A and B are shown apart, each in its own frame.
Chain A
Amino acid sequence: MTNAVLDISGVSKRFGDNLANDNISLSLGRGEIVALLGENGAGKTTLMSILFGHYVPDSGKVLIDGQELPPGKPRSAIRAGIGMVHQHFSLAANLTVLENVMAGTESLWRLRSDTDAARQKLEDISTRFGLIVDPDARLGDLSVGEQQRVEILKALYNDARILVLDEPTAVLTNLEAERLFRTLKDMAREGLSLIFISHKLDEVMAAADRIIVLRGGRKVAERPAKETNKAELAELMIGRKVARPVREPSTPGEVALKVTGVSVSIDGVERLKSIDLSLRAGEILGIIGVSGNGQATLAHLLSGTVRRDKGDIVLFGEPVGDLSVEGAVQAGIGRIPEDRNNEGAIGEMAIWENAVLERLPRFSRHGLVDRSAGQAFARKIIDAFDVRGGRPATRTRLLSGGNMQKLILGRNLIDRPRILLAAQPARGLDEGAVAAVHERLLQARRDGTAVLLVSEDLEEVMALADRIQAIVNGRLSPAVAADKVNATKLGLMMAGEWNEEHEISHAL
């Protein structure tokens, strides 16, 4: 391509025995959005780090406008117009937006800081690209989506013409992600060239002009977005056919859990407002909604870590009042917490310790922990749930996200829980792991477990759930049968429009 602003040709990089990048070439045109698609460990981030000068490639070169970029020099990369938006922002929470954007752009030897000119430049950029933020807001007060906007503005302020975004949606809600992609398209129209790294099929299909698939350090395919589809991309990315499983028809059993009129307040804010739900054995009830609408509180309520203000909880026909964590475990409620790193597992402890922590009474006698029983239990989970990359004594932190989630699923499902509470169980996992997690949830359903699936992924809920309720601002909609809804109707429900049932059907 002659009018390419960026040309990467024949780049290889080896770390020890691991060939992270194997002779990769790619080019990027002006005003183009290219997605770099691949599973974790496919070499996406390594390639971008070479582009940005963090790593020196073993061979190959990077050309910007036909000029070779000196390897291993981040400053030259910035000067050549490359801007990087990292997954974890490099911003200071205590400074204002303007101060964050200006940081590092002025010479230390000048005493006066030209704030007025900087403010003018920032405002020009933010109106031109539709990235609206208050320059005087303290960064720590902004939402994650807004902070990301600041990170992008910072790159543009440094006159970036090529913008690289590393898994930009990993930290965003769906709504924020959609807004981000609209902005990226506007930016491309203004002549910027963009590369974004992702392992999510939906978003590369929605946002990119061209998709480059990496697998095991090699470029395996390059497709214009218009000429491919998700199934093909998934196969290219994983290297074999992976289909997400879909529920088969079944007849649910008795009501396992019934919640009527429950409200919960936390720190004086009403997080759940008089919710009703009923969950049967052998069915999956999907709770869909944009995160931050009370899902976390609902999960905490049913796992026994928050108290209700009013309403009733009935477990297997018995009113239980408030649940305690112990009560929940004893009643056979398995829990997959939303934030697996913070609440699900303790990274610094061994796999077997994480496996037994929740059920210590079973694995201890006279106050002593039965190590060998615990390790055997962990080995059983590892085998049955295909947890790769660790033995019982391995530190849990060393597992990949997908394998950690399999461990958490395993320690819950191995005891055949009567109720399973799964909060965002597949969030952030790569495609192969998503399919594995979904299969496990369906297996639990077949085994007669009552599964409550909290998710913000429409596709996930429609594929797995028998019935669906939307959660909006602490309220739960009435349940609808999954085979009687489509994405449009669910979208309306997620926006809070379920009261006027006939109007919805009218609108369709």
Chain B
Amino acid sequence: MNALEFILAGMLAAATPFLLAALGELVVERAGVLNLGVEGLMAFGAVLAFIVVYHGGGHLLSFVAAGLGSAVLSLVFALVALGFRANQVATGLAIGILGQGLSALFGKTYESLTVKGLPKLALPWLSEIPLAGRLFTQDIVVWLSLAATLAIWVMFAYTKVGLVVRATGENPKAAHAIGYSVTAIRFAAVAFGGTMAGFAGAYAAVVYTPLWADGMIAGRGWIAIALVVFGTWLTGRIFLGACLFGAVSLMGLAAQATGLDVPSQVLASLPYLVTIIVLGIISADRRLLKLNGIASLGEPFER
């Protein structure tokens, strides 16, 4: 397998943790809330999922546990930031650190243990195309995340719920005057974001690299937040961004495999470097950010 084939085959799987977490954060931000705790929510979901699978609970149950666990943790954030109108940045950071702490605590006895991942499913016909066919042999979670991407795009473009969530984020006062409960919508959005972050963490811990190591999320939650910004709050761009990061993180491995003489730390830091560069490029065009930026992002709602 050459480097290109390697990247094509693994890109979508590598992208999935970014994608799931970023889709969740997209919904949260579209409702006007900035939750910076994604990294911790992912770490918490990851450890819950790993424990469930290790003790024989199976993958389905592990995703349920991770989703619920991270949703509960994100509701703590919602309670403080939305209920008591605390500063969202500070609260999000605190919940993130809490999540990482809980993850380290629960994961202590599982350090370096491994579990079994998920089998890959090949799409008939498509997976037989030479080279590009590599893209079409993936595990079930990857296929489901692609479906989730499509669903969220449809939600914002065509559904009542999507319209109301956007109205809440752009102008909570008007949404309130029209008769929607801003606080309830924002709570629901945050819980959804938490669930998705939990799924993302679970995928990283029990499917993508089915091995427990403390700090295994390794900044992917932060990249997911950056993805939402550099996808300029558009579902399609966030998907492309996630694929880019998936590909870049594999490039490091591919380069090592070809025997390129570059320190592995440099290769491992590639995704973060790319984040900074892409954010820089996007921010150079202020129009892109301004056009789609959420008007009330991070501001508490008061009647």
Contact = CB atoms under 8 A, between A and B. Distances in A.
A324 interface: yes
B173 interface: yes
B160 A360 contact: yes
B163 A357 contact: yes
A194 B160 CA distance: 53
Interface in B143-178: 158-164, 166-167, 170-171, 173-178
DSSP class of B's interface residues: helix, strand, loop or mixed? helix
Contacts of B158: 368-369, 371
Interface residues of A, number: 27
Interface in A330-344: 335, 337, 339, 342-344
B178 A349 contact: no
Nearest to B164: A360
A417 to B, nearest CB: 15
B171 A368 contact: no
A85 to B, nearest CB: 28
A358 B164 CA distance: 10
Given A324-B179, A344-B174, A369 B295 contact: no
B160 A368 contact: yes
B179 A342 contact: no
Contacts of A368: 158-160
Contact of A353 (B161, B163, B179, B303): B163
A347 B160 contact: no
Nearest to A329: B179
Contact of B167 (A337, A339, A357): A357
Nearest to A267: B303
Contacts, number: 64
A347 B161 CA distance: 19
Given A344-B174, A345-B174, A326 B167 contact: no
A348 B159 contact: no
Given A367-B160, A371-B158, A325 B178 contact: yes
A348 B170 contact: yes
Contacts of A478: none
A496 interface: no
A137 to B, nearest CB: 24
B295 A360 contact: no
A347 B171 contact: yes
A346 B171 contact: yes
A358 to B, nearest CB: 5
Contact of B174 (A303, A326, A343, A364): A343
Contact of A360 (B163, B170, B174): B163
Contacts of B173: 339, 342-343
Contacts of A348: 170-171, 295
A207 to B, nearest CB: 34
Contacts of A346: 167, 170-171, 174-175
Given A305-B177, A324-B179, A326-B179, A349 B159 contact: no
A86 to B, nearest CB: 22
A206 to B, nearest CB: 34
Nearest to A337: B177
A339 B176 CA distance: 13
B162 to A, nearest CB: 8
B177 A364 contact: no
Contacts of A304: 179
B166 A349 contact: yes
A305 B176 contact: yes
A304 B176 CA distance: 10
A339 B163 CA distance: 22
Contacts of B164: 357, 360
B183 to A, nearest CB: 14
Contacts of A369: 158-160, 162-163
Nearest to B180: A325
Nearest to B181: A325
Interface string A465-505: 00000000000000000000000000000000000000000
Interface string B71-114: 00000000000000000000000000000000000000000000
Interface hub of A344, A364, A369 (most chain B Cβ within 10 A): A369
A342 B159 contact: no
A344 B158 CA distance: 23
B178 A364 contact: no
Nearest to A364: B160
Contacts of B159: 364, 367-369
A315 B83 CA distance: 34
Interface hub of A345, A360, A371 (most chain B Cβ within 10 A): A360
Contact of A342 (B161, B162, B163, B171): B171
Interface of A: 303-305, 324-326, 329, 335, 337, 339, 342-349, 353, 357-358, 360, 364, 367-369, 371
10 contacts: A303-B177, A305-B179, A324-B179, A325-B177, A346-B167, A364-B160, A369-B158, A369-B159, A369-B163, A371-B158
Given A337-B177, A348-B295, 4 more contacts: A305-B176, A329-B179, A347-B170, A364-B160
